[in-house]
Structure 1
Amino acid sequence: MIRTLLLLALCLVCLPAGAQSDPAADAQTLKQRALELNRDLLILEEELLYPPSSQIALYLSMDVAEYFALDAVKVKIDDTFVTSELYTDNQVDALIRGGVQKLYLGNIKSGAHEISAFFTGEGPQGQPYKRAASLQVEKTTAPLVLELKIVDSTAKLQPVFEIKQWEL
């Protein structure tokens, strides 16, 4: 509803009374302004829903994946599962090529928390592989940003799963 009203207001502002101009150019300008307004509204919505003082964001990244083929990830904060994801071959390929996926964006209270991630897939010889990683974190008033990393260990000839806290 708010978006509709703002879009209507934008339309009224963009169309000057009695002006003779190219309708295609006006339409393109209106589309561009509507996109900018939509972007601004999404940013405002995210800031309102996830204020920095309680925000937590979780991302997933992957290495070469010579020793692990990812099928699924589940994430738990304290004793509550907050997200799970099943992966297609295309998604795994994007992660291997350096992509980073936003797994979760939410709110938590300040204080101590345990973040646990459960990884499921195929191991080095094609056998089923299930591993977990966990990290104790202290939530402050700053946003908490964590990266779940899957890295090949050539020394161990197996994958290593870790959770890294980003410093902002």
Structure 2
Amino acid sequence: MFSPQKTQECRGRKNRGLAFICSGLTTLSLVFSHGEAFAASIDEEIAELKSAVTAHANEVFKFEQRVLHPVDTRLAVFLTLASRDVLDLDSVELFVNGKPAASHLYTGKENASLQQGSIQQLFIGNLASGEHELKAVITARAANDRFVRRETSHRFQKRPGVLRLQMALEAKAPEFEPRVSVVEWK
């Protein structure tokens, strides 16, 4: 059936096939080893890009804070109750130079907290140096169950640096008319 010549041809084909398979496996192993190296280099580049983006984001944040919120122009306004258990605050509206700056409606818990002596931060913002006016509109219920609405204005001089103003509300018996005093914190 098979002649010696055909047997040699078959053996040669097997050897060539085996050589082809071996060379293919070698090529695949080279591709995989280079692929792993290629993937490792991409991972390194991604890590470098991430750290560069993080560093850039930190720089942008610091710059933003310096430009948008410079310490030399900062104004902070706080509210306290000088006369406790005399006023139940309903709302406070705050205007700086005639422009609305803050508005707050009070809950029962917030009133109770203020009556226990807490300090509420009403406003933090930036203001150029110079002469300015702070106006507050206060709506409250007095101890004699009368609703009162008071407007108060305070002129102040803003200098470079942080300026902190405290608005203290008080109302004395028997009229329970609320008065607002503004004090500059040092």
TM-score range for the pair, normalised by the shorter chain length: 0.5 to 0.7
Q: Indicate the RMSD between aligned Cα atoms, in angstroms.
A: 2.8
Distance verdict in 2 for CA 1:160–1:46, change over 3 Å:
farther
CA contact (8 A) 1:75 1:81 kept: yes
The answer as to 2:131 corresponding to 1:112 is: yes
Q: How many angstroms apart in 2 are the aligned matches of 1:129 and 1:156?
A: 11
In structure 2, what is the equivalent of residue 84 of structure 1? 103
- Matching residue within 57, 61, 71 for 1:52: 71
Q: How many residues align?
A: 131
TM-score between the two structures when normalised by the length of structure 1 = 0.67
In structure 2, what is the equivalent of residue 143 of structure 1? 162
CA contact (8 A) 1:67 1:159 kept: no
Q: Which structure's relative contact order is higher, taking Cα pairs within 8 Å and 6+ residues apart?
A: 1
Report sequence identity in percent. Answer: 24
Equivalent residues in 2 for 1:116-135, closer than 5 Å: 116-135=135-154
Distance verdict in 2 for CA 1:129–1:142, change over 3 Å:
same
TM-score between the two structures when normalised by the length of structure 2 = 0.61
Q: Which runs of 5+ in 1 are unaligned?
A: 10-43
Post-superposition shift, 1:162? 1.6
Distance verdict in 2 for CA 1:67–1:159, change over 3 Å:
farther
Alignment deviations for residues 40-88 of structure 1 (CA, whole Å, 9 cap, x no partner) = xxxx699534222111001111134333211100000011011000000
The answer as to 2:113 corresponding to 1:99 is: no
Distance verdict in 2 for CA 1:94–1:66, change over 3 Å:
closer
Q: How many angstroms apart in 1 are the aligned matches of 2:171 and 2:125?
A: 29
Q: How many angstroms apart in 2 are the aligned matches of 1:160 and 1:128?
A: 14
Structure index of larger Rg = 2
Distance verdict in 2 for CA 1:153–1:56, change over 3 Å:
same
Runs (4+) of structure 1 moved beyond 6 Å? none
